[in-house]
Amino acid sequence: IPLKRHRSGCGGAPPPPTLARHITDKVGTCCWRAPETWGFADMSRMSKQDFKSLDVFALGLIWAQLLAGERAIKHSDKCDPPEFLLLEILKKVDQPEDGDLEHLGFTEEMSVFIRCVLSGDMDAIRKKWESWVSDNERKALREEILEAEISNIGEWINERRACFGNEPCRDLDALKLIAQATRFSYRQRP
């Protein structure tokens, strides 16, 4: 039986509700977490494919760990400032290209932090972290990363292999795949 419209213009089935995509940015194991997570960037800008890149990033870091013999990211949610995760990614894994921060929706605060790292202004970061309470071992690790040169994941893998007395990884395809998987920009990951 067809529904009849009333004079008020009402009638029929109501329109479907508008669906809103609710996401959390508090995802992933900290040692394999992508730079856009943890509130560093506006994840509502991400497409379904972009969300898949979170797993690709983690997988790239796991492959790097297998080749290097240790985790690339030592960040601990309990012991370190949240930005330490970004510092490690920027120093050991990959760096954004010009315009990436705005395009990917990084917050202004994180964009300033990232620019400080890329410009070498470690004193600004040290000052920000002065009040962060942690044990001497964690402070020493943060200082080591602050002082480290900026590199990429392939260089980091071979540096760590050398520390363990291993030959450099000569499989350039493997290093290239890991580098692609761990790109700073989630839109540039496979």
Q: How far is CA 186 from CA 16, 105, 177, in A?
A: 33, 11, 15
Is-contact 150 90, C-beta < 8 A? yes
The pLDDT of residue 25 is: 54
Is-contact 25 37, C-beta < 8 A? yes
The pLDDT of residue 120 is: 96
* Weakly modelled stretches of the chain, pLDDT under 50: none
> Rounded mean pLDDT of the chain?
90
The pLDDT of residue 131 is: 85
Distance CA 89, CA 92 (A): 5
Count CA atoms closer than 13 A to 154's CA, side-chain side.
14
The pLDDT of residue 125 is: 95
